[in-house]
Structure 1
Amino acid sequence: MSSKLIPPNPDEVMVIRDLSPNVVTFSVPFLRFGRIPIGGRGTLIRLTSGSLAVFSPVAHTAATAAKVASLGGDVRYIVATDIEHHIFLSEWAAAYPHAKLIGPEGLPEKRLAAAAQGDDPRIGTEGFGVVVNKGNGRDAGAVGEDFGRDFEMEYFAGHPNREVVFLWKPEGVVVQADLVFNLPATEQYSRVPEAERPRLGVLGKVFSSFQTTAGDALGMKRFLWYVASRNDRAGFDESVARMARWEFDTIVPCHGETIVGDGKAVFEKVFAWHLEGKGKGK
């Protein structure tokens, strides 16, 4: 049940941050496995057309609705950036019924199965306007004409979570879910009273050591090499190489701190083994 993973009072603990007049993040507490505080983050972007796209949406609340309204209110795209970040799609689809749902292959079936089981009332049976797969995984124009003008898209088909990564070209902002974590989740727990913040146990400390970009990021490099890319390392490397040609300085992850200003340098550091050739630098 998603209720065991997310806060019951999202507006009381949500941090709404304007990265620019066109890019907004919604950061909330989130527990991985119901135990490890990794935080969650949705991203709202106003396209040059004036329409809005929301990525990995968090709870749709009075505060998020007000922010959407302040940017014009025309939510045209609701995007699940992988097969895990979909809990709140139905809430946003109900609030903005003319929006198109976007997600990776396998997610529509996963949601239909969950809805049939009936154990999570948040998950509905809405149809997807675009299902991202190997055939269209680099074609942002398949999502929508105005979307294609503003975004680059890269589908990591071999990633365990089937990651879909986006570059918003006008401001050099990469939006992604689980390709890169950047723990600890400081911002995402900043409005939680100190006494109520979860503490890292042994499992949490081990997990976090593999999901931080700090220092030489050796743990993350090992995770990306031995876990995230193990199913299709050649395809993974090709996707990383294409991303390396993008122009960006900000990375918005779903878990942990947003990387502003030095996003490209951090990307090149954590993916060095994939960019430099098999095992070089290990």
Structure 2
Amino acid sequence: MAVLLNFGHDIWIAGGPNVAVAGFHYPTRMAVVRLADGSLFVWSPVRLTEELRAATDALGHVRHIVAPNSLHHLFLAEWKRAYPAAVLHAPPGLRKRRRDIAFDADLADGASLDWVGQIDQVVMRGNLITSEVVFFHLVSGTVLFTDLLQQIPAELVSGWRATIAKLDLMVGPEPSVPRKFRIAFTNRRAARAALQRVLAWPAEKVLMAHGTPVEQDAPAFLRRAFAWLAG
């Protein structure tokens, strides 16, 4: 089975090892986008194995390594060591959290000049847990979420953690915004402004780091997932 699976035109995905947080085991996923100049945009990188590095190198040269929020930083250093010439992009809040990592650029609202016209982005602000940068890969029609949408396989949780996961909306028939993230949106006006930009994208698919990708009726799915915020 291929390490990197094609997810659309010029976009590939790879699964990584489960990551444990407070005893909850999260499946992980990253994406690689090939830009118009042939260089690669690596989103939310998972653990870098020899096989993953070989598969990535076969697609092009890594030019951008992107952490989408301040919670996704575990494997950044090893990717930067492997690709020292790549630009390491920090989301809001991560520079302070990981002072040991030398970031090269900061993510903000609106696309970087390096990928403008190919990948759009917006920062979902107003959340006490993290400010997540949501991306949209235009040519494949893919919206990339990190932690704001999740769907943990039920078999990964048991006992009281299964109850917590159910109450938090982490397990369900489709990915959803965990309840803890909903509560943490203390500035809903800012969040709604960002959401309107997300909903305006001509989405065809929705990809997330922890959950089953949505490959049909993406606009309807996004409206359902964020109906609690849009109303």
For the criterion TM > 0.5, the same-fold answer is yes
Is 1:251 matched up with 2:210?
Answer: no
Give the corresponding residue for 1:207: 165
21-30 or 266-275: bigger deviation:
21-30
Q: Is the Cα–Cα contact under 8 Å of residues 33 and 41 in structure 2 kept in the other structure?
A: yes
Give the corresponding residue for 2:26: 38
Give the corresponding residue for 1:223: 179
Give the corresponding residue for 1:109: 96
Give the corresponding residue for 1:232: 187
Shift of 1:212: 4.4
2:114 pairs, out of 146, 153, 160, with 146
Q: Is the Cα–Cα contact under 8 Å of residues 9 and 139 in structure 2 kept in the other structure?
A: no
Is 1:263 matched up with 2:222?
Answer: no
Shift of 1:21: 5.2
Q: Is the Cα–Cα contact under 8 Å of residues 105 and 131 in structure 1 kept in the other structure?
A: yes
Match of 1:260, SS state, is: coil
Is 1:174 matched up with 2:143?
Answer: yes
**Larger of the two Rg values belongs to structure:** 1
Separation in structure 2 between the aligned mates of residue 24 and residue 255 of structure 1, nearest angstrom:
16
Q: Is the Cα–Cα contact under 8 Å of residues 36 and 204 in structure 1 kept in the other structure?
A: no
2:47 pairs, out of 49, 59, 73, with 59
Deviant stretches of 4+, over 6 Å:
none
Structure 2 runs not aligned, ≥5 long: none
Match of 2:117, SS state, is: helix
2:131 pairs, out of 152, 162, 185, with 162
Match of 1:147, SS state, is: coil
Separation in structure 1 between the aligned mates of residue 156 and residue 172 of structure 2, nearest angstrom:
21
Q: Is the Cα–Cα contact under 8 Å of residues 55 and 80 in structure 1 kept in the other structure?
A: yes
Separation in structure 2 between the aligned mates of residue 208 and residue 66 of structure 1, nearest angstrom:
38
Separation in structure 1 between the aligned mates of residue 146 and residue 194 of structure 2, nearest angstrom:
15
1:95 pairs, out of 71, 78, 82, with 82
Structure 1 runs not aligned, ≥5 long: 1-12, 113-124, 186-196, 278-282
- Alpha carbon RMSD of aligned pairs, Å? 2.5
TM-score using structure 2 length: 0.88
Q: Is the Cα–Cα contact under 8 Å of residues 150 and 169 in structure 1 kept in the other structure?
A: yes
Separation in structure 2 between the aligned mates of residue 79 and residue 250 of structure 1, nearest angstrom:
20
Separation in structure 2 between the aligned mates of residue 129 and residue 65 of structure 1, nearest angstrom:
21
More helix by share: 1
Give the corresponding residue for 1:81: 68
Separation in structure 1 between the aligned mates of residue 229 and residue 210 of structure 2, nearest angstrom:
22
Q: Which amino acid aligns with 2:75?
A: F
Give the corresponding residue for 1:188: none
Separation in structure 2 between the aligned mates of residue 39 and residue 169 of structure 1, nearest angstrom:
26
Match of 1:207, SS state, is: helix
Q: Is the Cα–Cα contact under 8 Å of residues 161 and 178 in structure 1 kept in the other structure?
A: no
- % identity of equivalent residues: 28
Aligned residues: 229
Is 1:130 matched up with 2:96?
Answer: no
1:70 pairs, out of 40, 46, 58, with 58
Q: Is the Cα–Cα contact under 8 Å of residues 41 and 56 in structure 1 kept in the other structure?
A: yes
Q: Is the Cα–Cα contact under 8 Å of residues 27 and 41 in structure 1 kept in the other structure?
A: yes
Separation in structure 1 between the aligned mates of residue 37 and residue 19 of structure 2, nearest angstrom:
36
Q: Which amino acid aligns with 1:211?
A: M
Shift of 1:27: 1.2
Separation in structure 1 between the aligned mates of residue 180 and residue 221 of structure 2, nearest angstrom:
14
Match of 1:108, SS state, is: helix
Q: Is the Cα–Cα contact under 8 Å of residues 34 and 40 in structure 2 kept in the other structure?
A: yes
Shift of 1:211: 2.2
More strand by share: 2
Match of 1:140, SS state, is: coil
